[in-house]
A = this chain, B = another copy of it.
Amino acid sequence: MEKYQAVSKNIALVMDQVEFVNGKTRVYGIVGDPIEQVRSPEMVTWEMQKRDHNALLIPMHIARDEFDSVMPHIMRMRNLDGLIFTIPFKAQAIALAKTLGPQASQIGAINALKKHSSGAWSGEIFDGIGCVEAFKQKGITLQDKRLQLIGLGGAGSAICVALAYEKPKLMRLFDINPQTTERMAKMVNTISPQTVIEVGLPHAEGIDILLNASPVGMLNDARLPLAVEQFKKELIVFDAIVMPENTPLLSLAHDCGCQFVRGREMMLGQISKIVDYFFAP
């Protein structure tokens, strides 16, 4: 009987070593082109397995010109329950959703798609929601605050909409494209009519929270996204940039004794909210 037991142990050993996937695992994917740089597979899988879900998120590399034809078929995989979209698919992916969350409707883009038990798929964009969540995690409320937001591109417009839903007292908006600024100002007004809206060159006077969602300060760019030499220490500073962690703006905020919120905290906040969304009933 020793031979029997030896083989049984062998199998048990395998089953013990690979605890993260089995036949019952629910599959999620992040879809992008390119895909190798994404961090969601580790981070979302960690968040899901930490919450005791038998689920993991894999990278899915779909070519740009095949996205529209391939995705509806991939979504027929019965044990696929959700998708995240990254560059260049956030706008295109909206066509895959039967229903949209409020922020996706405003922005015209999604980065998460969730299958309901009915089989229907709904989409929402979480870039801005992740930013708001990062503030909440630090006990900072946005309601009735005076905000300066710099940059209203892909991430910036999503952050702008999410901030508006928090009903701040004032939002100053700046983007290098004045038409974009104008469009986002109208959107903020629709979402939160009581918020005072200002547009123009960015500054930190009369502002409680300064948010950068422009690319200024990314990688080896040593510039600040606004003309300033120092901040009052009561100012709270946010930078959406993930690389480097230590942007010129956050360095200045740190040197001035300001509280700050970083791009990676927004990323973690976003992951937490996307996993909430995926597993909500």
Contact = CB atoms under 8 A, between A and B. Distances in A.
B7 A21 contact: no
Contacts of A35: 23, 78-79
A14 B267 CA distance: 13
Contacts of A262: 7
A179 interface: no
A249 B274 CA distance: 53
B41 A17 contact: no
Contacts of A45: 18, 21
A58 B63 CA distance: 21
Interface in A18-48: 18, 20-25, 27, 33, 35-43, 45-46
B245 A7 contact: yes
A103 to B, nearest CB: 25
A10 interface: yes
A8 interface: yes
Interface size bracket, A side:
35 or more
Interface string A42-78: 1101100100000011111111001001100110111
What number of copies of this chain does the assembly contain? 2
B21 A56 contact: yes
A25 B153 CA distance: 30
Contacts of A60: 27, 77, 79
Contacts of A56: 21, 58
A97 interface: no
Given A11-B264, A14-B42, A23 B79 contact: no
Contacts of A226: none
A99 B4 CA distance: 39
A262 B7 CA distance: 9
A265 interface: yes
Given A8-B245, A22-B42, A264-B11, A76 B58 contact: no
A15 B42 contact: yes
A273 interface: no
A203 interface: no
A18 B1 contact: no
Contact of A4 (B14, B33, B61, B245): B245
A169 interface: no
Nearest to A74: B74
Nearest to A66: B76
A246 interface: yes
- CB-CB nearest 6 A-B residue pairs: A73-B73, A61-B78, A23-B38, A18-B42, A61-B79, A21-B41
Given A21-B57, A33-B78, 5 more contacts: A18-B49, A22-B59, A23-B38, A23-B40, A27-B60
